[in-house]
Amino acid sequence: MRLAVVTFPGSNCDYDVYQAIKSVGGVPEFIWHRDAALDSVDAVVLPGGFSYGDYLRAGAIARMSPIMEQVVTFAAGGGPVLGICNGFQILCEAGLLPGALTRNDTLKFESKDVWVRVENADTTFSRDYGQGQALRMPIAHAEGNYYADEETLDSLESGGQVVFRYCDPSGHDGEGWNPNGSARSIAGIRNEAGNVLGMMPHPERAVEEVLGSVDGLGVFTSLLRQLSPAAA
């Protein structure tokens, strides 16, 4: 299974995603943002980082990149697209996911481990998790405060599009566990069709015991299982 990891100028989690995919048996492949060729890949990951320095707005300039036209086409054809952190910001800017990621309500860059609850375990990216399972993963961002109007939020909720929500270590909602002020504590959403997921926490940084958590593995194993049900 070939998974494209798109490198924009300023991406800095591309290497980590590459290693995470490799560790679960996928075949990762770096694609430079100007090499617009996604013909033969099975899925696309937009990794974290500071594409174009986060200048103007996080993700705003990257989404103008030549590769993004291809990503839009790929997603429209049902191809799985995963955006992590800056990748999530790019997906929102590109209109592949609703809403926007605004400045953290703490006004600071927030780097720490958080807990997220699996709100929908029946998606391309979460099927290896249990419904309601609490996962520990790092966040590292300054603009992760998810915003959408109430109507959009309601439709995300009712459509099962909220995939991950910040929670306490026991998996419950709790005061003080939303690290950035996100509307309804949203940490990750998918599109209506279900093939595009954006999330602020970094599953690729939680794939080995030596790193402190393996709770992120499920995102990658779910995706691989989706792509080749027989092999998994």
Q: Which residues pair with 18 in a beta bridge?
A: none
- Asked if 175 is part of the footprint of other proteins (rule: CB under 8 A), the reply reads no
- Asked if 50 is part of the footprint of other proteins (rule: CB under 8 A), the reply reads yes
Least CB distance to other proteins at residue 95 (A)? 9
Q: Which of 85, 93, 141, 143 is catalytic?
A: 85
Q: State the Cα angle at 138 between 229 and 58, rounded to 5°.
A: 90
d(CA 103, CA 141): 9
Q: Is there a catalytic annotation at residue 202?
A: yes
Q: Which residues pair with 118 in a beta bridge?
A: 164
Q: Is there a catalytic annotation at residue 13?
A: no
Whole-number Cα distances in Å, 111 to 1, 35, 91, 143, 221:
32, 32, 22, 12, 25
Residue of the chain from 78, 109, 130, 132 that contacts other proteins (CB under 8 A): 109
Q: Is there a catalytic annotation at residue 141?
A: no
- Asked if 103 is part of the footprint of other proteins (rule: CB under 8 A), the reply reads yes
Q: In the structure encoding, which two tokens stand for residue 109, read together?
A: 């860059």
Q: In the structure encoding, which two tokens stand for residue 130, read together?
A: 């249990």
Site string for other proteins, 80-99 (x = CB under 8 A): ------------xx-----x
Residue of the chain from 26, 49, 80, 144 that contacts other proteins (CB under 8 A): 49
Residue of the chain from 102, 178, 195, 226 that contacts other proteins (CB under 8 A): 102
Q: Tally helices (H) and strands (E) across the chain.
A: 5, 11
Least CB distance to other proteins at residue 172 (A)? 17
Residue of the chain from 9, 160, 171, 174 that contacts other proteins (CB under 8 A): 9
If you write DSSP's letter for every residue of 89-113 in order, what string do you get? HHHHHTTSSSSEEE--TTSS-EEEE
Residue with tokens 């060729």: 37
- Cross-sheet strand order for the sheet of 110-118: 27-32, 2-7, 43-46, 81-84, 196-199, 186-190, 162-167, 110-118, 134-141
Least CB distance to other proteins at residue 170 (A)? 13
DSSP H/E element including 135:
strand 134-141
Residue of the chain from 39, 40, 77, 107 that contacts other proteins (CB under 8 A): 107
Least CB distance to other proteins at residue 135 (A)? 15
- Name the residues that contact other proteins, by CB under 8 A: 9-10, 12-13, 15-16, 19-20, 32, 48-50, 52-57, 60-61, 64, 92-93, 99-100, 102-112, 138, 140, 142, 145, 147-148, 181, 202, 204-205, 207-208, 210-211
Please list the active-site residues: 85, 202, 204
